[in-house]
Amino acid sequence: VLGLLSLPFGVFAPFAIWAGTRSLGRIRASDGELRGASRALAGLLGGVIGLSTFLAGIAYWLLAS
Amino acid sequence: VIARVLLIALVVVVAVATYPGTLIESAIVKLSSPRADRSQVSPGLLWLHVEHPGQGVPYIADEQGRSVLLHGAIPASLLEFGASAAAQPGAPIYPLDPAAYDGKCPDAVSAGRYPPLCQADLVQMAAMGFNSVRLPLVWSLLEPQRGRFNQVYVDRIAQVVDWARALGLYVIIDMHQNAYSAFVGAGPGVDLTYNSGAPAWATITDGLPSRELVQGKREANPAVVEAFNNFWYNRDGIQAEYIQAIAYLARRFLDDSAVAGFSVFNEPQPGWNLPPGFEDLLLFPFYRRVIDAITGVGDGLPCWTAFFMPAPCCYPDQGIHDLHHLVFLDTGLAREITDFPTHLGLPLSSYANVVLSIHAYTHIYTFDALAGQTLENATYPWGGYDQSYSLAEREAKAMNAALFVAEFGDSPSQDSLILANQLLEQERHQTGFAFWTWKEKGSGGWGMFDSQTGCLRVARERLLARVYPVASGDANLTYHYDSDTGAFTLSARGSAGQPATFVLIPPEVKGSSAALGAVTATTETRPDGSRMVTAAPSGGDFSITVALAPLVLAGCG
């Protein structure tokens, strides 16, 4: 959810990356006890895209204005 | 594996529809060469366009490439504002039939907040040295029934354009609204007198109550907010219908150079959305679709137009191919409150003639005023009056747009501070302006004319009847007019054969004009008593001055 939210609202992106990374780590360390790797990966991906876009947008404003 | 693919596909789809897609779309626009048609030469008023200098801020220019400053006022008489709005919302106050204004002027009625707009008004505007008029009109009178446009209303607009053309004034056709619509419904504290905009069929409030949550703020109404929201999400295709309405106007005025351009949406409210997402993902993509429809430049992805159109969606070419007119784009309403950019300044269209319009209401609608601070003790904006202008210049540059103050005004009691400072900033940043409002009846009115006596307010005449360069071959010129002394100085540079600079001196200003340096200047006195200095550069620096002399003001009060 955080990953998807970070696409229209870049401010959520760092939280999505943090939550996605942490969840993936815990899932991998659980030896199959915890599930949801796909959702964690999607959240992480959304967070990374959201953060990249957010930074690119800010960079554009600073450079072009 | 299927779940993983579906999840990633979901992320990609949401990404395309939101900021990542918008950023890619803007990058494509930025890399495209600006498109417009500058081949057509007008026999009447020169076509205006937006000139894009290499590193500087784009500016409004004429066919000869001279920077043009538009000075004008805003008559609100073609809106449906009126005391009878609650009983009969959306009904016009004054006759729409142009025949009612041929050589005559209807009497002002008590139900109307604004007197009727007649030919004499435009003559008065021209006599004050104005070269433009921002003409607000309203969707509910233009398209009272879905898909059926009111030809009589369009004829009335055309009549005003005809009057303006004859006087050498440009018209900015302004799709106006205030608190979305007069059809949001009556309710506790709601005064529909000043609501205007969408017709009843395009006002979707989803049953939310119409009530004023903050006293005196007609926008703080759940029904209004919901109606705006439904517009931005194209509920029931109403946004697409609005685009069709503008396309209808663009088709009608396609070859008319007296129409400077179209102002797409007045003071857009965000609905339930927050900046910067509102501006970047809803408002500016909507503007791009309007531009797509009337110019055919076709930025963005083809989408179904009857449903919510995500940010990268373009709009089908309506076959008008209007590649001449300026398109004035108001920033979101939140910018008016913050005097600060509420968007990322992403380029939105490859159409060259885009103008970013700000509404400059520092200390009137900004945070400080909303918090109840007085003008003398205001703690915001931190950058003073200049904050809004300096940042707007940066916004316009980032968006590949020219800058224009599409609305500013104040209570007459605050002219010496607010109006004087706003005009000073406009000079400093070389932006044109449209003053709200031309004439207004009743107490507390902001009109240029006294609401009781009908007399031109002398303080406003002093400030607004200004000496200014209406057109100049040097976009980097500097100038200053002192409204206390009537003195004016302009410094510019030009090579031999470059287009001349024109400086307008209104009849109120009596000081003698002079030209110094590398220039040949002539001064023509016009029938209304104003003077036009034509300064043809001969290569090098030059200046034009008007000597200080007491102003001769026709107003009173």
Q: Which residues of B touch A52 (CB under 8 A)?
A: 20
Out of B43-47, B89-93, B346-350, which region has the weakest mean confidence (pLDDT)? Answer: B89-93
Look at A60 and B18 and tell me if their CB atoms are within 8 Å: no
By percentage, how much of chain B surpasses pLDDT 70? 99
Out of A29-33, B86-90, B152-156, B503-507, which region has the weakest mean confidence (pLDDT)? Answer: B86-90
Interhelix angle A37-64/A13-29, nearest 10 degrees? 150
Nearest-Cα residue of chain A relative to residue B15: A7
Out of B289-293, B444-448, B516-520, which region has the weakest mean confidence (pLDDT)? Answer: B444-448
Q: Compute the distance between CA of residue B279 and CA of residue B358 in angstroms, rounded to an integer.
A: 14
> Over the stretch B260-293, which tens digit does the pLDDT of each residue have?
999 999 999 999 999 999 999 999 999 999 999 9
Q: What is the pLDDT of residue B144?
A: 95
Q: Compute the distance between CA of residue B187 and CA of residue B221 in angstroms, rounded to an integer.
A: 10
Q: Compute the distance between CA of residue B357 and CA of residue B332 in angstroms, rounded to an integer.
A: 10
Q: Which residues of B touch A4 (CB under 8 A)?
A: 10-11, 14
Q: What is the pLDDT of residue B438?
A: 97
| B557: pLDDT strictly greater than 80 | no
* Look-up of token digits 């309405």: B245
CA distances from B143 to B10, B137, B140 (A): 39, 11, 6
Q: Are strands B432-436 and B354-360 parallel, antiparallel or unpaired?
A: unpaired
Give ipTM to 2 decimals: 0.89
Q: Which two tokens stand for residue B350?
A: 């490859």
Out of B5-9, B95-99, B263-267, B455-459, which region has the weakest mean confidence (pLDDT)? Answer: B5-9
Mean pLDDT, rounded, for B193-210:
95
Mean pLDDT, rounded, for B108-127:
93
Q: Compute the distance between CA of residue B38 and CA of residue B53 in angstroms, rounded to an integer.
A: 16
pTM over 0.90: yes
Is the separation of the CB atoms in B73 and B160 below 8 Å?
no
User: pLDDT band for position B83 (50/70/90)?
Assistant: low
| B199: pLDDT strictly greater than 90 | yes
The pLDDT mean for chain B works out to 95
Q: Compute the distance between CA of residue B314 and CA of residue B400 in angstroms, rounded to an integer.
A: 19
**Mutation target vs A (from B11, B233, B394, B403; most A CBs, 10 A cutoff):** B11
B457's CB contacts (< 8 A; 6+ apart) are B412, B448, B449, B450, B555, B557
Q: What is the pLDDT of residue B453?
A: 86
| B84: pLDDT strictly greater than 90 | no
Q: Which residues of A touch B11 (CB under 8 A)?
A: 3-4, 7, 42, 45-46, 49
Helix or strand run (H / E) with residue B404: strand B402-408
| Residues 377-396, chain B, touching A (beta carbon < 8 A) | 394-395
> Over the stretch B468-489, which tens digit does the pLDDT of each residue have?
999 999 999 999 999 999 999 9
